[in-house]
Amino acid sequence: EAMDETARRRSIQMEYNKKHGIVPKTIIKPIHDVVRSKETKEMAAKYLKKKKLPAKQKEKMIKELEQEMKEAARTLDFERAAQLRDILFEMKGEK
């Protein structure tokens, strides 16, 4: 059934493309490496400003970053959410 449905949709799309003079083209875009350990360590250091923060301030910053990460995921900005997740791992690892 799934293959029949795919064929039906494909024929409709091909007719539409022919009627409107559309030639499908492959999208070519770069692939980004989501896990960049060196960059995330540098970003975590930036957030921590390379100095030890008081525990309360560090916890507050971690909560803010977690909220920002969740918001990025909610708005479908998954690359940013992954970066923030990696920063959080680095920050939590320094406790």
Distance CA 2, CA 27 (A): 25
Residuewise pLDDT in 10s, the chain (95 residues): 999 999 999 999 999 999 999 999 998 877 655 545 555 666 666 666 645 677 788 888 888 889 989 988 898 888 888 888 888 887 777 54
Residue 91 · residue 61 · CB < 8 Å: yes
| CA 86 to each of CA 7, 12, 50, 62, 90: distance values in angstroms, whole numbers, following the listed order | 42, 44, 17, 12, 6
- pTM for this one? 0.47
Structural domain boundaries in the chain: 2-93
